[in-house]
């Protein structure tokens, strides 16, 4: 597979997973939450300081449609990840060259 | 397995926060040495992909779900140092943007999911590579096993944190047994996603797969 196609495909798959497939994710509590319920310490959990953020819990506040809300949040997350992780790793890899 | 604020007390969270900062610093140095301009974009893509796949909680029975941790996957694809950084970036974005995992618990989460998840997979994968035949399918088998085991190992990391800084009302044995079995099941899901992703990268771009191209070294040597 050539380079360009590979990167486009990788990003496309990520966008589809976060933007479309995410709607079908199981809404059951995860392993840790379930354990906390079973054992009894689930009540110790406190809201995150950013619990009121417009994207909290993978939904865009104000967007009524659940499918759209989680999908938009997912795509926004992917975009931020591309910038932060993609940009960060590129900078990290470039550094030694600049020094030489 | 994102720990919310409140499960673990502040001093313990701070200690694990410091340990995580140290662990990430080691990987920053390691990744700077290891990554070239060809591998760096893949490390970025791996982080993006892990973020996306972590949105997909899959059911593991008994009204419980789990999702990919991604440490083993990232380790096999881009090496342990870049993997630690990739998972850490995912956790930071999740905590800050999506309120997924507490802010004071960020160090606890980086410790379990990035450091413990990646390095346990690295050691196990290294051992398996020594034993298994030197063929491509061994990379897939090794990824499967390393991914499977890394999840309950990370869950034990939480139990350890709970032992130090959790509520004293509840017995540690109960916490361990509630965590361990479920996370073995989640580990099976982790193993399938990891093996599937590694195998599709091996067949499309094997030149990019760290776990295939990296020279054999002793599993504890970095």
Distance of CA B149 to the CA centre of its chain: 10
Residue B221: inside a domain: no
* Structural tokens at position B7: 């499960």
B129, part of any domain = yes
The whole-angstrom separation of Cα A10 and Cα B201 is: 10
* B197 to chain A, closest Cα gap in Å: 11
- DSSP structure class, residue B6: T
Tell whether B2 is covered by a domain.
no
Q: Quick check: is B189 in a domain?
A: yes
Task: Give every residue of chain B whose pLDDT is below 50, as ranges.
Answer: 218, 220, 222
Q: Is residue B55 within 8 Å of residue A74, measured between CB atoms?
A: yes
- On average, the pLDDT of chain A sits at 92
With an 8 Å Cβ cutoff, are A85 and B47 in contact? yes
A4 touching B (Cβ < 8 Å): no
Structure tokens at B198: 């590694």
How many domains does one find in chain B?
A: 1
CATH code where residue B191 lies: 1.10.1760.20
- Give the residue extent of every domain in chain A: 1-25+56-100
Chain A segment 19-48 residues within 8 A of B by beta carbon are: 21-22, 24-32, 34-36, 38-41, 44-48
Domain carrying residue B62: 10-213
pLDDT tens-digit map of B106-149:
999 999 999 999 999 999 999 999 999 999 999 999 999 999 99
SS3 label, residue B4? coil
For residues B110 and B96, what is the distance between their CA atoms, to the nearest angstrom? 14
Domain membership of residue B219 (yes or no) is no
Q: Do B2 and A32 touch (CB under 8 A)?
A: yes
B198: in domain? yes
pLDDT, residue B216, reads 56
Which DSSP letter does residue B216 get? P
A36 vs B contacts (CB less than 8 Å): 7
In a domain, B218, yes or no: no
Q: Is residue B58 part of a domain?
A: yes
Name chain B contacts of A27, Cβ cutoff 8 Å. 57, 65
Burial class (CB in 10 A: 0-12, 13-18, 19+), A11: middle
Those residues of chain A that have pLDDT short of 50 are 97, 99-100
Q: Is B82–A77 a contact, with Cβ atoms under 8 angstroms apart?
A: no
The ipTM estimated for the assembled molecules is 0.94
- Closest chain A residue to the Cα of B181, Cα to Cα: A31
């Amino acid at each position: 597979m050539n380079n360009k196609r590979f990167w486009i495909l990788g990003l496309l798959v990520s966008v589809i997973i976060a933007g479309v497939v995410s709607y079908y994710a199981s809404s059951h509590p995860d392993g840790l939450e379930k354990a906390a319920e079973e054992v009894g310490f689930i009540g110790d959990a406190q809201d995150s300081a950013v619990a009121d953020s417009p994207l909290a819990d993978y939904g865009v506040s104000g967007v009524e449609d659940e499918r759209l809300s989680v999908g938009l949040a997912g795509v926004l997350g992917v975009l931020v990840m591309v910038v932060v992780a993609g940009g960060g790793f590129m900078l990290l890899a470039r550094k030694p060259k600049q020094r030489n | 397995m994102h720990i919310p604020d409140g499960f673990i007390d502040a001093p313990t969270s701070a200690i694990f926060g410091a340990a995580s900062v140290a662990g990430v610093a080691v990987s920053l140095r390691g990744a700077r040495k290891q990554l070239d301009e060809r591998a760096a974009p893949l490390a970025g893509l791996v982080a993006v992909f892990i973020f996306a796949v972590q949105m997909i909680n899959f059911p593991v029975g008994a009204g419980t779900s789990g999702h990919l941790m991604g440490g083993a996957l990232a380790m096999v694809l881009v090496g342990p140092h870049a993997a630690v950084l990739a998972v850490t970036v995912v956790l930071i974005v999740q905590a800050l943007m999506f309120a997924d995992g507490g802010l004071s618990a960020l160090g606890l989460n980086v410790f379990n999911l990035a450091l413990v998840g990646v390095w346990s997979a690295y050691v196990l994968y290294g051992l398996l590579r020594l034993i298994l035949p030197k063929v491509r399918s061994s990379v897939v088998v090794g990824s499967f096993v390393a991914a499977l085991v890394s999840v309950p190992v990370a869950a034990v990391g939480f139990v350890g944190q709970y032992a130090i800084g959790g509520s004293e009302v509840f017995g540690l044995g109960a916490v361990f047994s509630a965590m361990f079995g479920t996370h073995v099941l989640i580990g099976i899901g982790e193993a399938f996603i990891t093996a599937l992703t590694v195998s599709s990268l091996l067949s499309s771009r094997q030149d990019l797969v760290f776990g295939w191209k990296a020279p054999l070294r002793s599993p504890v040597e970095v």
